[in-house]
Structure 1
Amino acid sequence: MNGPGRRRAILRAMPNLSLHDLPLDHAYAALGDSYHARVHPASLSDARLLHFNADAAALIGLPPAAAQDPRFLDVMAGNAELPGGDYLASLYAGHQFGQWVPQLGDGRAMLVAAVGSPGGGSWELQLKGAGQTPFSRFADGRAVLRSSIREYLCSEAMHHLGIPTTRALSLVGSAEPVRRETLETAAVVCRMAPSFVRFGHFEVFYYRNQHDQLRPLADHVIQRHFPQLWDRPDRYRAWLTEVCERTARLMAGWQTVGFCHGVMNTDNMSILGLTLDYGPYGFMDGFESGHICNHSDEGGRYAYDQQPRIGHWNVSRLVQATLPLLHEDPEAAVEIGTAILEAYGLAYGQDVVQRWRAKIGLREHRDGDEQLINRFLTLLHQGRSDFTRSFRHLSRIRAADTGPATGVREEILAQEAFDAWVEDYRARLRAEGSDDAARAAAMNAVNPKYVLRNHLAQHCIERAEAGDSSEIGRLMDLLARPFDEQPESEAYAAEPPPEARHISVSCSS
């Protein structure tokens, strides 16, 4: 029986299973005190469960009824510790906006435990916003409702778009005040991942010249998450190569759904190639190749068109931090590390072209395809045409038609350039004998109709701040089927109204 089927069978057999019944393990805690600090959550007054994610809960064998247990809310709010849990804040460092910061760590997040999955493997549970840790750096350790809703929604939206990501189990809100730019209210997200280890976990020991700490951490990651590499004599090289490739493919996924992360610091990069830490992110509305989604990023380091380059720069920092694992001779280690980094460019180039080709419905590889794709992106940029809607509507084009592509042309602001492009596009489709119906179905399976636009998230936040959390569930249901038409939700696929097109997000988001 496959993973999802096995999970469903277990949930049917154990409908009364609670969070307190789940099998826990503490492999990360076993690494020792050099890697983390033990912590305790701070109680949260007036805690309310705003949403429970049954889809993510099934990954750890937790049925929907488990959320009705009052003990569940207590644990998710940080008002009680999970029996058997070992609460940890992990140590790491990182390059933030290109500058080395020697110590960071989980300042408002704490690992509870890893939970075995009915489908195999395990998922770490982490509370974000549950109070101060030794790494809080004079901050309060809290998360606000605004940023918590954004992370909760987007991690699930990305999953359903097929982009590797952390998941979210629950969202708890409170009337407890928290001071940011203004006075806001507190919230706690329970997020899930097979591992929350980041590039910065390795950097901190490299730059501290504590190289003996690198091997146990790398072995922990490889044994649990790359077991197929464990018996290889070159396992560290093979592991880093796969991390490079996963990161490259993640960047290709981001680019081709129009997602901007906003803070691609090395401490926000997952060792598993997951989208991690949803702060000032954004899905582009009008396409702009140099779009900056984070107004704190004054130099545009993490602009949309820079993400693939920054992904490579970040993995180069990881490889540098792990050079002591590659060879005892520093020059030989650098030579091996340089070869490892070549994997990034190869993986990105192959994956991103394949994704763009699928988005415009090309079945075969032919010379000139990349130019055709780039011409379409250029005309989107020229008119700042809506990224998501423009790609979605391309499936309406018929290969044998002539003249303007009615039903698509209306989405494109640079219409003369688009008309010329359509002629060449139709000729390219005819050259491979493209079937209109089959192509449309394939394109609509990779070009979402619904993404978490900033104005949709903001509307949800405003309603929740006013005491109505129903829009959270509405968006979760909508974004769980981003490629389906969902006629009753057509308004959610519209371009943002003019007053909502420049919603500002920053590192406090």
Structure 2
Amino acid sequence: MPASTVCPPPATTPAQPLLAGWHDGFAALGPAFHTELRPTPLPAPYWVGTSADVGTLLGLPVGWPQRDDALQVFTGNVLLPGSRPLASVYSGHQFGVWAGQLGDGRAILLGETAGGQEVQLKGCGRTPYSRMGDGRAVLRSSIREFLCSEAMAALGVATTRALCITGSPQSVAREELETAAVVTRVAPSFIRFGHFEHFAARGQEAELRQLADYVIARYYPQCSGTSNPYAQLLQAVSERTAALLAHWQAVGFCHGVMNTDNMSILGLTIDYGPFQFLDAFDPGHICNHSDHLGRYAFNRQPGVAYWNLLCLAKALLPLIRDVEQAQAALDSYEPLFVEQFMARMRAKLGLRQARASDETLVDSLQQLLAKNRVDYTIFWRRLSRAVADGKDEPVRDLFADRAAFDAWLLQYKELLALDDKAIAADLMLKTNPCFVLRNHLAEQAIRAAKLGDLSVLQTLQRLLARPFDEHPGFEAYADFPPDWASSLSISCSS
């Protein structure tokens, strides 16, 4: 069993309950929406990583990572009283093609806490929706999901969360033999666009309406009582999705598998598979080795999100009953995306007031970044420091075409001079992270964990929890990626 300096071995289970109670929530929708079943146990589980913040969110007692009942529950070996574990059914489009019925093939929902958070185990065995899969997750992908969920939350990006990872020596066959792991995921809801597509494709209008009414009552009550609550629901989801995509694009995040079954009805980042934060800025970057046609390239993400919303609109049309109203519900997506994206880019530039020239300034900068293949995160951090310290050379050194960048910098400084420089620098340093979960950093944590060393994972988790701080002594984690990083291949296999 790997040693851990953060998660000590479980001690005797105290009398205090792990979780106070469960609400039925999604389970109350009935058997058309899910199948009740127990997780499949794993032998000899051990802690790989835990999130104190998510533990607090769930109201877990202090010291829960030292408890054997917590280890067993979050591995799927033991059920808590009142838990009604289930796997939900949904359908969806994958890489733009209708894939038919999908569903929770390796995820089981334990239930909803009294605080309104759903708790789900990913990798806890086969379900009726596994489609010939083994229902397991491997240590490699589980570490990536755990770290990125928490890193995105610290960046302020809307996301599902990750409470913990537990590992097991049980073998799992992928491209090679790996070991099993379980991620405990947390969100107000794991409902996806694909849940609606499932019932619409089958002509099950009663179930479609039941699902939509549940989502409106629980998560979008402002839509209730309007002239067309289902059109209002579509518009609300569209606007949350636009805001999410604007944040992805601003921070340089590539999702990699934007299938409709990976789109959250709450506008959360969900299902961390072959994701990546950009290294060198490349608008056409494809982070998923399985995406042979580049459907989910970085610069295509906003358009793909809109296409996915069109699929959701089609699914909701039997309830909306008016094509024009459905289209009108989507019309705010593009202008809101542009508005939100530009607001985030202005913050990255330290510009507090919107001006007509802003889009030109951002567009020309992105062209320079792409042409010079400038590291995206390092550029923004160095620019922030340049504004704070008045030293331009470190950021100028990133560009082969210095003359072109100097011309852009002159235009930028003219705008910056219209604002308070100290306030601009403070805004930039709180907006442009020093640390993101680069692929090579995740890979280093994975390689060490496979050898029983969890210290790299723990260091990364600590740095990513406060990504805007400098963390003296850990500068290497914010440096350029090594040459071997470009050879990393991240696919849908997990």
When the two structures are superposed, what TM-score results if normalisation uses the length of structure 1?
0.92
Match of residue 5 from structure 2: none
Q: Is the 8 A contact 2:45 2:168 kept in 1?
A: yes
Q: Is the 8 A contact 1:125 1:191 kept in 2?
A: yes
- In 2, the alpha carbon distance for the partners of 1:115 and 1:279 equals 26
Q: Does 1:154 align with 2:148?
A: yes
- In 1, the alpha carbon distance for the partners of 2:66 and 2:387 equals 51
Q: Is the 8 A contact 1:17 1:63 kept in 2?
A: no
Q: Deviations over 1:295-337 (max 9, x none)?
A: 110110000000000010001100110011112xxxxx11111
Corresponding residue to 2:231 among 217, 237, 242: 237
- In 1, the alpha carbon distance for the partners of 2:389 and 2:174 equals 57
- Secondary structure of the residue aligned to 1:28 is helix
Corresponding residue to 2:414 among 427, 451, 467: 427
Q: After superposition, where does 1:190-269 map in structure 2 within 5 Å?
A: 190-269=184-263
Match of residue 4 from structure 1: none
Identify unmatched segments of 5+ residues in structure 2.
1-13
Structure 2 CA distance for partners of 1:101 and 1:436, relative to 1, 3 Å: same
Q: Is the 8 A contact 2:448 2:456 kept in 1?
A: yes
- In 1, the alpha carbon distance for the partners of 2:452 and 2:178 equals 13
Q: After superposition, where does 1:45-444 map in structure 2 within 5 Å?
A: 45-117=43-115, 122-327=116-321, 333-398=322-387, 405-430=392-417, 433-444=418-429
Q: Is the 8 A contact 2:385 2:429 kept in 1?
A: no
When the two structures are superposed, what TM-score results if normalisation uses the length of structure 2?
0.95
Q: After superposition, where does 1:471-490 map in structure 2 within 5 Å?
A: 471-490=456-475
- In 2, the alpha carbon distance for the partners of 1:135 and 1:228 equals 33
Deviation at 1:498, TM superposition (A): 1.0
Match of residue 38 from structure 1: 36
Most deviating of 365-374 and 127-136: 365-374
Q: Is the 8 A contact 1:19 1:66 kept in 2?
A: no
Deviation at 1:231, TM superposition (A): 3.2
- In 2, the alpha carbon distance for the partners of 1:51 and 1:363 equals 39
Structure 2 CA distance for partners of 1:405 and 1:412, relative to 1, 3 Å: same
- In 2, the alpha carbon distance for the partners of 1:413 and 1:372 equals 19
Deviation at 1:435, TM superposition (A): 2.4
Most deviating of 466-475 and 228-237: 228-237
Most deviating of 69-78 and 450-459: 69-78
Q: Is the 8 A contact 2:19 2:60 kept in 1?
A: no
- Name the aligned partner's letter for residue 36 of structure 1: H
Deviation at 1:17, TM superposition (A): 7.9
Deviation at 1:399, TM superposition (A): 10
Identify unmatched segments of 5+ residues in structure 1.
1-15, 328-332
Structure 2 CA distance for partners of 1:491 and 1:19, relative to 1, 3 Å: farther
- In 1, the alpha carbon distance for the partners of 2:332 and 2:61 equals 41
Query: Percent identity, aligned pairs only?
Result: 51
Q: Deviations over 1:91-115 (max 9, x none)?
A: 0000000000110000000000000
Most deviating of 411-420 and 487-496: 411-420
Q: Does 1:495 align with 2:480?
A: yes
- In 1, the alpha carbon distance for the partners of 2:447 and 2:383 equals 34
Deviation at 1:349, TM superposition (A): 1.3
Most deviating of 128-137 and 231-240: 231-240
- Name the aligned partner's letter for residue 246 of structure 1: R
Q: Is the 8 A contact 2:18 2:61 kept in 1?
A: no
Q: Is the 8 A contact 1:50 1:172 kept in 2?
A: yes
Q: Is the 8 A contact 2:37 2:86 kept in 1?
A: yes
Match of residue 7 from structure 1: none
Match of residue 28 from structure 1: 26
- In 1, the alpha carbon distance for the partners of 2:378 and 2:439 equals 15
- In 1, the alpha carbon distance for the partners of 2:176 and 2:212 equals 41
- In 2, the alpha carbon distance for the partners of 1:467 and 1:190 equals 21
Q: Is the 8 A contact 1:199 1:271 kept in 2?
A: yes
- In 1, the alpha carbon distance for the partners of 2:36 and 2:206 equals 22
Q: CA RMSD in A?
A: 1.7
Q: Deviations over 1:455-490 (max 9, x none)?
A: 000000001000112222221111110111111221
- Secondary structure of the residue aligned to 1:175 is strand
Most deviating of 489-498 and 143-152: 489-498
- Secondary structure of the residue aligned to 2:101 is coil
**Count of matched residue positions in the alignment of Structure 1 and Structure 2:** 482
Q: Is the 8 A contact 2:388 2:425 kept in 1?
A: no
Deviation at 1:290, TM superposition (A): 0.3
- Name the aligned partner's letter for residue 428 of structure 1: L
- In 2, the alpha carbon distance for the partners of 1:491 and 1:399 equals 22
